[in-house]
Amino acid sequence: MKTLADAWNWYKATKQNLARMQRLGERHWGDPSLTEASIWQDDHFRMLEAPDIVAETTVSLKPIDDLAVVVLFSVFESRVRDYLVELIEPQAQRIADPILKEAVDDAMQGVKEGSFYRRVLEPLKKQNRVTANLITQVDQVREFRNWVAHGRRNAPTNNVTPELAYDRLSEFLAALGISAESEESQPDRLNEEHE
C-alpha cells in the first residue's frame, strides 16, 4: 500500500468481505436447502460451522476501524515525508559550506524520521502551506493513531473514524499537491476514459 487510496480500498474491501462472511454465517451457512451444495465437498469448508464463522468474523471486525486509521495515517505520513524530502534534497545538495551542510542534513533527518508534529506539521503551519485548522484536524488523527498503536490505554482524546481520517488526510495531501489516488488504478481509469 503506497497511497491513501490503496489504504482506503484495502479497508473497504476487508470490512465489506468480513461483514459478508459474517452474514453468511449468521443467516445462510446451515440452511437445509444447501445440504447438497458442492461447498461441502471442499475440505476447507466441510467442517466449518456457522458459530465459528460468526465468532471469527466478530473478532476480526472488532478492531478493523481502529486499525484502518493506523494504516491510513502510516501511508499518509510516509507520503508527506517523501514529498518534503524530494522538495528539500536538490537544494541541500547544492550547499557546500560544511556547517550549513550539517544543519541541512539535520533538518533532512528530522523530516525523514523526526517527530511528525514538530518537524513536519508545525513548520508547514508556520509557512502557511496548510491552514492551522487542517493541521489541528490531522494532528487529531495522529493522536488517535498513537492511542491505538500504544495499546488503547485510557480514553482517546478524540474519536476518529476511518472516513473522517481519510477525508482530513486527503485534504491535507491535496493542499500540498500530493495525489491520494492509487497509482495502480490510474491506467484502468485512463482505459475507461478511452472507451
Grid cell 492509487 is found at 182
Asked if 189 touches another protein (CB under 8 A), the answer is no
Comparison of 42 and 105: residue with beta carbon closer to another protein? 42
Residue 134 and residue 169: Cα distance in Å, rounded? 9
Residue 141 and residue 165: Cα distance in Å, rounded? 6
Least CB distance to another protein at residue 77 (A): 28
Residue 11 and residue 67: Cα distance in Å, rounded? 9
Q: How many CA atoms lie within 13 A of 61 on its CB side?
A: 17
Residue type, 144: F
Site for another protein in 102-121 (CB under 8 A): none
From 12, 13, 17, 30, residue interacting with another protein (rule: CB under 8 A):
30
Residue 105 and residue 92: Cα distance in Å, rounded? 8
Asked if 21 touches another protein (CB under 8 A), the answer is no
Residue 41 and residue 92: Cα distance in Å, rounded? 64
Asked if 33 touches another protein (CB under 8 A), the answer is no
From 40, 62, 109, 115, residue interacting with another protein (rule: CB under 8 A):
40
From 19, 50, 67, 175, residue interacting with another protein (rule: CB under 8 A):
50
Least CB distance to another protein at residue 56 (A): 11
Least CB distance to another protein at residue 15 (A): 20
Query: What residue spans of the chain are helical by DSSP H?
Result: 4-23, 50-61, 64-93, 98-113, 116, 122-126, 132-149, 162-176, 186-194
Asked if 26 touches another protein (CB under 8 A), the answer is yes
Candidates 19, 23, 41; CA nearest to 31 is: 23
Site for another protein in 149-188 (CB under 8 A): none
Asked if 54 touches another protein (CB under 8 A), the answer is yes
Q: Contact region for another protein (CB under 8 A) — 3-11, 32-40, 144-152, 182-190?
A: 32-40
Q: Which residues bind another protein (CB under 8 A)?
A: 25-27, 29-30, 32, 35, 40, 43-51, 54-55
